[in-house]
Structure 1
Amino acid sequence: MLKKIKGSIFLKMFLSIALILMISSLAIYGIVMVAMPQSYKTQSDRTFTIGVDQLIEELEKVTYKEGETILDQFCLKNNATVTLISKEGKQTFGDISLTEAVEEDQVGMSKTIGSAVKFTDSDETYTIMIGQQMKVVSQITEVFWRLLPWITLLILIISLIGAYICSAIFAKPVLEISRISKKMSEADTTWHCDVSRTDELGVLALSLNTMVQKLNTTMNDLETANYQLQEDIQRERKQELQRRAFFAAVSHELKTPITILKGQLESMIYRIGEYKDRDKYLPLSLHTVERMENLVKEILTISRLTSDGFRLTRTASNVKQMMQDCIISYQPLASKKKITLHLEVQAEPVLEVDKKLLEKAFSNIVGNGVLYSPEGANVTATLTESMLNVENTGVHIPEEKLTDVFTPLFRVEESRNQHTGGSGLGLYIVKNILDLHHMKFEIKNCPDGVCFTIWLNHN
């Protein structure tokens, strides 16, 4: 039980308040029980003394016979006994037993007042003894003692009820705040402190509510930041894997033509076999060098686009003119493969873009269309005010590989044969350029082939 009391502020407050109320009430009752009879006796003595003085003055103005009547009325009114003593004897007025009690010094009687009085019809001086019965004082004390058990019980009941009400009123907000603090220790922020007061406890509850709101905001921000951090980490890991794969593929792409070129040059230098005919193999070596040069240029372009300090050089550029130049540059290759290359212009948008980079992106898209389309196919570029669509017919990309075409060095044809495709960097460069321009894009299979769509941003 003691342990339970120590662990409960409600029980502590309840017992403390109940004990204080009971002790205070009993102390007040005891003080009243002692002080009230004494106060009553003191007041009665003062009143009685004044009454006796007035009685003596009045008796000295009347005859003996009239005095008897006055004494009888005084005794009846003041619950007193008067003894009138003369040479002939004594005469008592009122209750004679009071005189006997006074003579025996019984408790509860006031002291007797003695005085001399002379009536108007006599020269004799009478001795007058006046006593007052004080049973009322004893009765008051007796009533107090008789009521003490009932008063004690009433005080106990009222104290317990009052202590419970006070404890409930004062302990409730403390218990509520204690409950909240437990939730806070468990990192639970889904609570609200329902304490509507204007005192210090109310201020504390309001502070807790404000704190949890800020804590929720902070926690949400931290969760968002953590989620973003996890995404960044995953993206960084993916990019790291891509970089490793990129360097491995680049090494392979450069190693093969270098090996071929080295072999060709050595064979021509030492005039081995058919390589004695240098005029035949020098152009082949030059073609290998050109492939290596193009690959190095693409690698440098990617390095420049992905560097932290890179910024676009924007100028007002006519997209129609850029596409026309692109179509013209690929027209010879298209004619060689008997591919119809066509531009449909429905609008002439002018954009604030990095012209050289965007021309590079358009060139790679159109170039892929011409390069990967079979003979006799159609490559059509359609330009509107808000969109550029390039469609090439006669070929499809496997659906499972559509999401990988923008990965560096990815090729749909996995043999990496130089006669069946490029280096795999073209669309990766396109993606970086369009991302820098904040232009949305997508590649998908159409009924007749592959469609590459760009949504143009008008800044």
Structure 2
Amino acid sequence: MKIVKKNFLLTSSIIFVVVTVVLASLYFAMPLYYQQVKSSEARREFDQVARQIKGKSRQEIGELLTDYSKKSNQIWFTLLAKDNTILYPSVESGAEDSLQLTIVPTIANSDYESKTLTETIAAADGQELTLNGEYSLQPVSDASRILLNLYPFVLLLSLSLGGIAAYLYSRASSQRIKAISRSTRQMISLAPDVVCPVKGRDEIAELADDINRLYANLLTSMEALRQENEKVAESEREKAEFLRMTSHELKTPITSMMGMVDGMIYGVGEFKDRDRYLQKCREILEEQSDLVQSILAISKLEMQTEKEQEVFSLKQLLEENLGSYRILADVRHYHFQVELAEARVKGNRTYLLKAIKNLLDNAFHYTVAGGQIVLRLESGQLIIENEAERVLDQTQIQQIFQPFYRPDYSRNRKDGGTGLGLFIVQQILDKHGLSYLFEAVDLKAMRFTIFLPSMES
């Protein structure tokens, strides 16, 4: 059942019940209430007259009762002697009194309800007299009959007006619900500009506001999920590309080594010199072992960089691990300049050290003979700079972080390493949320700068 029809029937039923109960209450309660009020008024008037005539002579009593009869006819008084002789009204009192005598019996014999009040009073001569007062409740019956005749019209009018009001109210109250329903149906399309109209401050307005907040949160969550899915898809593409390149890097040396082994087995040509080519096979295996170790290190990065993070002194960490580089600098006659200021960072100690060592390894590997290598830790920056054998151009710098990339001048594995060093550096720094810059300086040096966030001690 639609809400308009339901509200109309419910409101109309409530109006019908309320009007019926009110009319029934009036029909039964009003006569009782009217009778009580009428009796209370008659009692007060009777008591007032009784107080006025107490201690008066018979003549004065008759005059007072006559004056009251002229002013009001709500109560009809009768004064009796001790032997029940009627003292007032008396036949000798005149026409007006005679009229009183005729009224009392008329009331007594009528069909209307009447009640009598009685009180014994003492006259001036000490004689006890009985004062009777009789009053009629005839208007109560008339009022009840009138109400009963009017009830059908009052009920019909109330139901008609109430029905119209209920219909208009039902229509008006359902408009906002219909508007919310239309908006929620539009939300199925997940359009970003759909909102439920919020009017008023009642529960329906609160419902519309709650739906708007829920829809906004849903859109935000979906957008975050979409971005996350894109990141996952991009990560999967990068992994697939990395596996493809890894397979290619492993395939060539393995094929080469198998060719040498076959040549040695069958004693073909120069491969008869087994000692020489066994040494070459070992060198190839060592290179592949380094490559496999690098690949394993990359696979562990994603799982472990977010674990075991701590705040530590980067200066202290570097000082503890620069001994071998100082010795290597002396052996190769490099000028190794170290300037370390105190700096505290948050991250995985092991992997940050690995990234810095990879950068130092590259610097020592590609520095000109007798050249200078600088390691400087200052406020907010870690800088590694070396006088390079060859300065990379901008295109090469953009590609240098790709896995297995080697510049044209270092295609040889002996010179170019595994091709994963800077890729590992990039992965570690990205996992830690650290920005960095790799650039050429004065056409003779390469500089790698890591920007460190400020960290309180």
TM-score (norm 2): 0.56
Using the alignment, how far apart are the partners of 1:439 and 1:20 within structure 2? 72
Task: Label 1:434 to 1:140 Cα distance change in 2 as closer, same or farther (>3 A).
Answer: closer
Cα offset, 1:303, TM superposition: 3.5
CA contact (8 A) 2:78 2:86 kept: no
- Of 70, 90, 98, the residue aligned with 1:75 is 98
SS at structure 2 position matched to 1:423: coil
Cα offset, 1:341, TM superposition: 5.8
CA contact (8 A) 2:336 2:374 kept: yes
Cα offset, 1:17, TM superposition: 1.4
Using the alignment, how far apart are the partners of 2:140 and 2:452 within structure 1? 108
Aligned to 2:392: 395
Task: Label 1:326 to 1:305 Cα distance change in 2 as closer, same or farther (>3 A).
Answer: farther
Aligned to 1:423: 418
Task: Label 1:25 to 1:410 Cα distance change in 2 as closer, same or farther (>3 A).
Answer: farther
SS at structure 1 position matched to 2:393: coil
Number of equivalenced pairs: 385
Cα offset, 1:16, TM superposition: 4.3
> How big is each residue's C-alpha offset from its partner over 1:220-252, in whole Å with a ceiling of 9 and x where there is no partner?
4x7666555545444333333333322322222
Query: Is residue 2:328 matched to residue 1:329?
Result: yes
TM-score (norm 1): 0.56
Aligned counterparts, 1:280-299, within 5 A: 284-299=280-295
Aligned to 1:17: 15
Using the alignment, how far apart are the partners of 1:151 and 1:455 within structure 2? 92
Task: Name stretches of at least 5 consecutive residues in structure 1 with no aligned partner.
Answer: 83-97, 99-104, 111-131, 196-204
Using the alignment, how far apart are the partners of 1:304 and 1:373 within structure 2? 30
Using the alignment, how far apart are the partners of 1:244 and 1:328 within structure 2? 40
Cα offset, 1:294, TM superposition: 1.8
Using the alignment, how far apart are the partners of 1:223 and 1:4 within structure 2? 31
CA contact (8 A) 1:413 1:421 kept: no
Q: How well do the aligned residues superpose, as a CA RMSD in angstroms?
A: 6.3
CA contact (8 A) 1:59 1:67 kept: no
Task: Label 1:299 to 1:178 Cα distance change in 2 as closer, same or farther (>3 A).
Answer: closer
Task: Label 1:297 to 1:310 Cα distance change in 2 as closer, same or farther (>3 A).
Answer: farther
Cα offset, 1:256, TM superposition: 1.0
CA contact (8 A) 2:382 2:452 kept: yes
Aligned counterparts, 1:261-300, within 5 A: 261-268=257-264, 270-275=266-271, 284-300=280-296
Aligned counterparts, 1:182-193, within 5 A: none
Query: Is residue 2:302 matched to residue 1:301?
Result: no
Using the alignment, how far apart are the partners of 2:222 and 2:208 within structure 1? 21
Using the alignment, how far apart are the partners of 1:350 and 1:146 within structure 2? 99
Aligned counterparts, 1:27-426, within 5 A: 28=26, 51=77, 54=80, 68-77=91-100, 80=103, 194-195=201-202, 205=203, 220=217, 229-268=225-264, 270-275=266-271, 284-307=280-303, 317-320=316-319, 322-323=321-322, 325-326=324-325, 328-329=327-328, 342-347=336-341, 357-369=351-363, 371=365, 380-392=374-386, 394-398=391-395, 402=398, 406-410=401-405, 418=413, 421-426=416-421
Amino acid at match of 1:368: N
Amino acid at match of 1:70: S
**Identity over the aligned pairs, expressed in percent?**
22
CA contact (8 A) 2:294 2:420 kept: yes
Task: Label 1:350 to 1:278 Cα distance change in 2 as closer, same or farther (>3 A).
Answer: farther
> How big is each residue's C-alpha offset from its partner over 1:301-337, in whole Å with a ceiling of 9 and x where there is no partner?
234444569965988744245346436536767x7xx
> How big is each residue's C-alpha offset from its partner over 1:409-456, in whole Å with a ceiling of 9 and x where there is no partner?
4556699663773433212322444466x3613234355465422245
Cα offset, 1:389, TM superposition: 1.3
Task: Name stretches of at least 5 consecutive residues in structure 2 with no aligned partner.
Answer: 43-72, 114-133, 188-194
CA contact (8 A) 2:80 2:87 kept: no
Using the alignment, how far apart are the partners of 2:174 and 2:369 within structure 1? 85
SS at structure 2 position matched to 1:398: helix
CA contact (8 A) 1:349 1:385 kept: yes
Bigger radius of gyration among the two: 1
Task: Label 1:341 to 1:366 Cα distance change in 2 as closer, same or farther (>3 A).
Answer: farther
Task: Label 1:183 to 1:322 Cα distance change in 2 as closer, same or farther (>3 A).
Answer: farther
Task: Label 1:11 to 1:306 Cα distance change in 2 as closer, same or farther (>3 A).
Answer: closer
CA contact (8 A) 2:358 2:421 kept: yes
CA contact (8 A) 2:337 2:372 kept: no
Task: Label 1:185 to 1:215 Cα distance change in 2 as closer, same or farther (>3 A).
Answer: closer
Cα offset, 1:348, TM superposition: 5.3
